[in-house]
Amino acid sequence: MADTPLSRIAVIGGGAWGTALASVAARAGRKITLWAREEEVVAAVNKGHENTPFLPGIALDPAIRATSDFAELAGAEAILHVAPAQHLRAVTAGLAPHLKSGTPLVLCAKGIETASGKLMSEVAGEEAPEARLAVLSGPSFAADVARGLPTAVTLACADEALGAQLVEAIGVPTFRPYLSTDVIGAQIGGAVKNVLAIACGIVEGKAFGDSARAALTARGFMEMSRFGEALGAKPATLKGLSGLGDLILTCGSRQSRNMSLGFALGEGKTLEDILGARSSVSEGVYTAEAVMRLAAAKGIGMPICEAVHNILSGKSGVDDAIAALLARPFTNED
């Protein structure tokens, strides 16, 4: 009997999110190879069926096979690319020689490359020009998805037929990908919400209350929308799962690494100490600079993201940045 289309899927990146996506795609009936750069992850997944370093306490389908060798991905009919944003270029360059021309490459990182100011689709397009690109983004904590709790995400692909195949390949009733053709728009929310979540975490760490956090989230959505539309995103995408949806999740839960990092900053800890104590990635720390450079080039006002960038770069202390935001002149809402 012939295989269903996209029956063999590779996942690049053995962090929490790559592991959760491997788990969900296995649940959808796909044959999964998980590429991880850490040998301890490969061993933990293959022997104990658990990613103890990055997603402890969640049993994985024993059929998921892990490897650290790109050559073993040669038979994959689609690839979910889950390396963090700042490493996407190097990992894609390592993967590209092993990719068959036309292989679908679904970009799952949420960030903008700091060095170039480029979106993940631009970076991947440069390093793997023969791949067919798609983007997966939306409100989804790895632990929730891996546990099979109900979630919904955006899957964007310029080729709608391929996008529909990808949705069928990885979707299950408890992981619902909604199809879009807005590849740019689907990347904006995930990148900008991580910066805004740091701001919301600071508000929580300072115990400013729920009203302040709601105001910051709503004004943050204005910033995300202005920025996204200037980069070519469709307004409907920004109001959807990958934009507003992910902003609500990440700004409202300390399960978010970005929000919890902001919380620790608000409590008075230093960025160096916070980053030194964690092995997981907080993408907003790196994307803040890229967002601010792009916003400046396009003449877009993003005062909340700017305050976060000023704090992270050491240009302002937390209290000074808050005082400057509160002292801004009153203005129209839109």
Ligand X SMILES: NC(=O)c1ccc[n+]([C@@H]2O[C@H](COP(=O)([O-])OP(=O)(O)OC[C@H]3O[C@@H](n4cnc5c(N)ncnc54)[C@H](O)[C@@H]3O)[C@@H](O)[C@H]2O)c1
Q: How far is CA 232 from CA 119, 183, 187, in A?
A: 12, 10, 11
Subset of 258-277 contacting ligand G3P (CB under 6 A): 258
Which stretches of the chain are DSSP H helices? 16-27, 39-43, 88-95, 120-127, 142-146, 160-170, 185-205, 210-230, 235-238, 246-252, 257-266, 271-276, 284-298, 303-312, 318-326
18 binds, among ligand X, ligand G3P, none (CB under 5 to 8 A by kind): ligand X
Candidates 256, 287, 310, 316: give the one binding ligand G3P (CB under 6 A). 256
Candidates 84, 104, 139, 228: give the one binding ligand G3P (CB under 6 A). 139
Does the annotation mark 193 as catalytic?
yes
Candidates 54, 175, 221, 227: give the one binding ligand X (CB under 6 A). 54
| Torsion, Cα of 195, 196, 199, 200 (10° steps) | -140
Backbone φ and ψ for 195, nearest 5 degrees, come out as: -70, -45
Q: By CB under 6 A, tell whether 195 contacts ligand X.
A: no
Site string for ligand G3P, 192-231 (x = CB under 6 A): --x--x----------------------------------
Candidates 27, 110, 118, 213: give the one binding ligand X (CB under 6 A). 110
In 3D space, the residue among 147, 149, 150, 152 whose CA is nearest the CA of residue 136 turns out to be 152
53 binds, among ligand G3P, ligand X, none (CB under 5 to 8 A by kind): none
Which amino acid type is present at position 315?
K
CB nearer to ligand X: pick between 81 and 309: 81
Beta pairing partners, 34: 11, 66
Candidates 141, 221, 227, 263: give the one binding ligand X (CB under 6 A). 141
Subset of 90-129 contacting ligand G3P (CB under 6 A): 110
Q: By CB under 6 A, tell whether 140 contacts ligand G3P.
A: yes
| CA dist., res. 103 & res. 90, Å (int) | 18
In 3D space, the residue among 23, 65, 75 whose CA is nearest the CA of residue 44 turns out to be 65
Tell me whether residue 317 is annotated as binding: no
Catalytic residue among 47, 100, 118, 193: 193
| CA dist., res. 31 & res. 11, Å (int) | 11
Other Cβ atoms closer than 10 A to 158: 16
Chain centroid to CA 137: how far? 6
CB nearer to ligand X: pick between 94 and 303: 94
How do beta strands 104-107 and 78-81 pair? parallel
Subset of 258-297 contacting ligand X (CB under 6 A): 280-281, 283
Q: By CB under 6 A, tell whether 134 contacts ligand G3P.
A: no
| CA dist., res. 190 & res. 184, Å (int) | 11
234 binds, among ligand G3P, ligand X, none (CB under 5 to 8 A by kind): none
Query: Which segments are annotated as binding site?
Result: 13-18, 37, 110, 138, 140, 142, 193, 246, 256-258, 281, 283
Query: Which segments are annotated as binding site for substrate?
Result: 110, 257-258
Query: Which segments are annotated as binding site for NAD(+)?
Result: 13-18, 142, 257
Q: Catalog residues that contact ligand X under the rule CB under 6 A.
A: 13-18, 37-38, 54, 82-85, 87, 91, 108-111, 140-142, 280-281, 283
Q: Catalog residues that contact ligand G3P under the rule CB under 6 A.
A: 110, 139-141, 194, 197, 246, 249-250, 256-258
Return the active site residues. 193
